[in-house]
Each structure stands twice: as structure tokens, then as C-alpha cells.
Amino acid sequence: MASEKKFVVTVILHHDQSKTLDQIMAHLRETGFYRDFPPDGSELISWVVAMSYGFIIHLRLEPDGLRNLNLFMEKKAWGAFRYEVYPSYDFQPIAEKLKGDHSG
């Protein structure tokens, strides 16, 4: 099944603090970042703002989609953000099990 081949990545975007918000937004408008996000082959799971840190975004994609994600970021995010990408997984069910295991 194709969905079993998909994995989750965490994308962290830090605003370029050498630019004003207006300059950042103009760059993102020019590149079409918000219009085109998430890139083809990626499914948006969550997108949150961590104040004073940046955006924390979770995407689900197939392994072949990783290259497309990288190209998207290089073409549309650079100049507005510094970015990091990490393979990820949902730890909440494990944490709940550990909580139960350690309760007694």
C-alpha cells in the first residue's frame, strides 16, 4: 500500500531577521511560497508558529518527494527563511504507554 511508504518530516523555518516583515512577505509573494505550499507530493499535517522561533511544519511524503521538497525550499523559501528538515514520527502514543508503564 502506498501510504505505508510515506514518512513524516518536520520542517523548521526561521525568518531572516536581517529583513523586515514587509521585505519577507514581498519575497514570499514574488516566489509564490504561500500559494504553492505544500509542494507537490507533500501532504500538510500541521503548521504552527513558535513565537521567537519560527514555523514548525509537519509534512507527510513518499521518499521520492524529498527531493521535490528540497527544490521547493531552495527556490521559494531561501531569502525569506533559513530552514531545517528532520525525519519525524508521532511520539505521543509511545509517551502515553510509557506513562502507564511507569505509573506503578
Q: Give the CATH number of the domain where residue 60 resides.
A: 3.30.70.920
Q: Which of 75, 14, 12 is nearest to 40 (CA)?
A: 75
End-to-end Cα distance, the chain: 39
**Cross-sheet strand order for the sheet of 81-88:** 42-50, 54-61, 7-15, 81-88
pLDDT given for residue 3 in this prediction: 52
pLDDT, block means (10 residues), the chain with 104 residues:
78 94 96 96 96 94 93 96 92 91 86
The residue ranges of DSSP E strands in 1-104, in sequence order, are 7-15, 42-50, 54-61, 81-88
Q: How far apart are CA 7 and CA 4, in angstroms?
A: 8
Grid cell, residue 25, equals: 512577505
pLDDT given for residue 47 in this prediction: 98
pLDDT given for residue 36 in this prediction: 97
* Domain count across the chain: 1
pLDDT given for residue 50 in this prediction: 94
Which structural domain range is residue 41 located in?
2-101
Q: Compute and round to an integer the Cα radius of gyration of the chain.
A: 16
pLDDT given for residue 1 in this prediction: 43
Grid cell, residue 92, equals: 505521543
